[in-house]
Structure 1
Amino acid sequence: MSDISAHSKADREENPLERQRELMELLSQETRHSIIQVLLGHPEALASAGEINHFIPSKSKKTVEEQLGVLVEAGILEIYEYPPNKEKRGLPWKFYGFTEYSVGILVDFNYLEGVPMARAVHQKTRTPEKIERHETAPRPPLPESVRTAFRLDEKAE
């Protein structure tokens, strides 16, 4: 576990430079950065662990899972559950997505500028049937501010 979780949110808010350094450390670690890129490119900005693992083939599932946990603990990601999918075989019911808190961070660090490119890459990446099922699975809604930041309510051309 990194030092990031050892400091309280209040401590980070009192020292903006320390907060910025910690956020840079958090977001720049290779696997965490890749997870963020996958979510930036996802058409719903909300992906199952299976989808995330598919788009990060160079890392083990365990490594990705550990780093998802770090991002959740740091408030960058949240686990959004969709219980109706529990009853449906082959569909995920837990999804990872950005939080209202993390949208501000993504704006501050200009991550949202890369969304169109990340989505284009995502769209052009071949996916097996299982991952296509995951991508089209019903999922819970994101908070309105997250939907707005990712322009999820706007129809693609």
Structure 2
Amino acid sequence: MDEVHQKQLQTLEEIIDRDLKQKLVQSTASRDKIFEEQKTLSDLRKNIETLEKNGVTSLKTMVNLGSEVYMQAEVPDTQRVFVDVGLGFYVEFTRQEALDYISQREESLKKQLKEITGVIAKIKGHIKLAHYQIQQILNLPEENPTPQRVF
């Protein structure tokens, strides 16, 4: 193999390893965070709906203080809830306001998820294209050749 092909291979491998794979890992981590936030919001929605359905006005519960250390807590009025709106800020909502906020936030997360999924698909496409170019440089047969029709 000549020097030009060696340099092309090295460049393609660097692009795959240094750029594309790192972007893929970062994008996948971002998508996982969105999934986690969706789960949290879904759980909160279910809890608020359960409180509404059962007419619960006060509550006794166990709260995780960290490191699996729990403490009993009493909530005298469940008509208002504090919701984490990001950056460490909590906003006090009525149950209905919290449900409305959750719906809006879920819609926003769906849009973000659609965008990040598109980004992940593009990155995977670029990786496949780079692998195909490497195959072409090395004159290797295709991994998944298209089937030939026989009539």
TM-score range, shorter chain: under 0.3
TM-score w.r.t. the length of structure 1 is: 0.23
Give the strand-richer structure, 1 or 2: 2
TM-score w.r.t. the length of structure 2 is: 0.24
Q: Which has the larger radius of gyration?
A: 2
